[in-house]
Amino acid sequence: MKKFFIALIRIYQLFISPLKTPSCRFYPTCSHYAMQAVEKHGVVKGLWLAMIRISKCHPFHPGGYDPV
């Protein structure tokens, strides 16, 4: 299950992300953060952490360095 979600994130990184302008306010980027969170914490907690992170990625948040 973990490999499946990591593959989905990787597909996003390779095929969808290059079509958009770089806009992530964080380092590592939100997709890299999601991949690391799933690898480190498993699918359920990793995706939950990724959703929280993505919800903070907007122009009114300062962003910055935010490791898993």
pLDDT in tens, 13-60: 999 999 988 888 899 999 999 999 999 999 999 999 999 999 998 889
> How confident is the model at residue 24, as a pLDDT?
85
> How confident is the model at residue 52, as a pLDDT?
95
- List Cβ neighbours of 46 (8 Å cut-off, separation of 6 or more): 5, 34, 37, 38, 39, 40
Tokens at residue 7, please? 């593959």
Which pTM does this prediction carry?
Answer: 0.89
Residues 58 and 38: their CA atoms lie apart, in Å, by 22
- List Cβ neighbours of 44 (8 Å cut-off, separation of 6 or more): none
> How many domains does the chain fold into?
1
> How confident is the model at residue 34, as a pLDDT?
96
> How confident is the model at residue 14, as a pLDDT?
95
Instruction: Give the range of the structural domain holding residue 35, as residue numbers without chain letter.
Output: 2-15+24-65
